[in-house]
Amino acid sequence: MSDQMISGAFRVGHGYDLHRLEAIEPEGRGRPFVLGGVRIESSVGPVGHSDADVLMHCVTDALLGAIGSEDIGQLFPDDDARHEGEDSRVYLEEAIRRVRGLGYELVNLDATVVCERPKLKGHKGAIREHLARVMGVDVGSVNVKGKTHEGVDAIGEGRAIEAHCVALIARV
Ligand code: MG
C-alpha cells in the first residue's frame, strides 16, 4: 500500500462524505454528534462504524485525493473491528503524514457541511481550530462553512448530514 510517486508544484484534492442521522444510542444508532473533532449537543447523531465524523472523513479524503492515494475507505475499512468507534482524528493524522511524506504541505482547505440540525453557527471557530491543530497548520489554512438543505431530500428532512471539501497542497 505504498504511495505512488507524484509530481506537480501544486495539487488539488476533493473530499465528500455523507452519514445517516438517527437518534443517539440507545434510542437509535446515532453516535454522539462530533464534527471536525468537536462535540456538539444534539438529539440526533451520525451513524457509522468509526465515530462517524463526516467532516473529518471528507477532509481526510481531500488530502488523500490530492496525493493520489487510496481513499479513507480503503485505508481504514469499515468492516475492520479495529476501527469500531474510533476517533477519526487518526485518519486525518495519517493523511497529513502521507502528504508530508511525499514532500508536500497543505496550503489551504475549504469545507462545506450540509445539515438541517444541529446549527453549526457558533461552533465553526472551534472546528477550524481543532482541524488546524490536528494537521499542524495555521487556522487561516482551514475554512468551514455551514449550509442547510432547505428542507428537501434526506438532508433537508434531517435524516442525513454531508460534507464537501477541497484542499490545495504545494511542494515544499
Ligand atoms: Mg464517513
CATH number at residue 36: 3.30.1330.50
- Residue 35: beta bridge partners? 38
Q: Is residue 2 part of a domain?
A: no
Those residues with Cβ within 8 angstroms of residue 21's Cβ, 6 or more apart along the chain or in another chain = 30, 44, 45, 46, 47, 115, 158, 159, 160, 161
What whole-number distance in Å separates Cα of residue 103 and Cα of residue 159? Answer: 40
pLDDT of residue 63: 98
pLDDT of residue 79: 86
pLDDT of residue 134: 98
Q: Is residue 145 part of a domain?
A: yes
CA nearest neighbour of 59 among 122, 113, 3: 113
Domains: count for the chain: 1
Q: Is residue 4 part of a domain?
A: no
Could you give the 3-state DSSP secondary structure of residue 47?
coil
Q: Is residue 132 part of a domain?
A: yes
> What is the Å distance from ligand 1's center to 168 Cα?
21
pLDDT tens, the chain, 172 aa long: 445 689 999 999 999 999 999 999 999 999 999 999 999 999 999 999 999 999 999 999 999 999 999 999 999 988 888 888 889 999 999 999 999 999 999 999 999 999 999 999 999 999 999 999 999 999 999 999 999 999 999 999 999 999 999 999 999 9
Question: Please, which residues have CB less than 5 A from ligand 1, an ion?
Answer: 17, 57
Q: Is residue 144 part of a domain?
A: yes
Q: Is residue 26 part of a domain?
A: yes
**What's the predicted TM-score (pTM) here?**
0.95
Domain that holds residue 77: 10-171
> What is the Å distance from ligand 1's center to 7 Cα?
28
Helices (H) and strands (E) in the chain, counts: 5, 7
